[in-house]
Amino acid sequence: MDLFSEQHPELVPLAEGACWLPGFALPVMEALWRNLQQHLSEYPPQQMMTPMGLMSVRTSSMGDWGWVGNGHGYAYSAMQPGTGLPWPRIPPVILQLAAQAAHKAGYHAFVPDSCLINVYAPGSKMGLHQDKDEMDFSQPIVSLSLGIPATFLFGESKRTDKPVKIPLQHGDVVVWGGASRRFYHGVAPVKADTHPLLGPRRINLTLRKAK
């Protein structure tokens, strides 16, 4: 019996079409974190207002389509709020990682055109929601977690279904699509902690094909 892989499984099925890849990003973490730090210094994450109120996370984007909220709604936007400039491209290390994770989960030739970056300070959370603003639901979403741990809540097709709790750690990737593409999900309030590389925060990247 291989105790190591029993305790650190490579792929954990979550639901039809969805899986968790613990530690999948660790081999490229150095290049990934270098690129991400550079991005965050040039495009500081902002707290977005949605019709539900001010979000507790701070958001930045990469790729052809960023995610922007204002008091009236939220949408993919080719322009940054404020400057009206386009978003920077998604760095190759992130594109490659997303394609490899999607492939491992059974989604081939995934080419995202949008990368949302959510920064969680201790106490930040994400309410249960569906991701349904993308054009093509045959394309999966690849989600990458960095920094302090968080409890990811993975629900079902109804908001009232009791969600499964997934303890996401630095370097974990979640891929979902297919039958679970529109499942409800969220993040429980992040507990106070400090990560050796990122400090007291969690950063989540979601890579999508928006258009």
Q: Which residues bind ligand MD6 (CB under 6 A)?
A: 118, 126, 131, 141, 143, 152, 174, 185, 187, 204, 206
Q: What is the C-alpha to C-alpha distance for residues 96 and 45, in angstroms, rounded to an integer? A: 23
Residue 119: Cβ within 10 Å count: 21
Write the single-letter amino acid at 141. Answer: I
Please report how close the Cβ of residue 139 comes to ligand MD6 at its closest, in angstroms: 11
DSSP code at position 47: E
Residues 6+ apart with CB under 8 A from 106: none
Please report how close the Cβ of residue 107 comes to ligand MD6 at its closest, in angstroms: 13
Which position among 131, 151, 195, 200 is part of the footprint of Fe ion (CB under 5 A)? Answer: 131
- Residue with smaller CB distance to ligand MD6, 76 or 152: 152
**One-character DSSP codes across 166-209:** EEE-TT-EEEE-GGGTT--EEEPPPPP--BTTTBS-EEEEEEE-
Q: Which does 187 bind (CB under 5 to 8 A by kind): Fe ion, ligand MD6, none?
A: ligand MD6
Please report how close the Cβ of residue 117 comes to ligand MD6 at its closest, in angstroms: 10
- Residue with smaller CB distance to ligand MD6, 114 or 118: 118
Q: Which does 48 bind (CB under 5 to 8 A by kind): Fe ion, ligand MD6, none?
A: none
- Residue pair 24/205 in contact (Cβ under 8 Å)? The answer is no
- Residue with smaller CB distance to ligand MD6, 85 or 136: 136
- Residue with smaller CB distance to ligand MD6, 85 or 103: 103
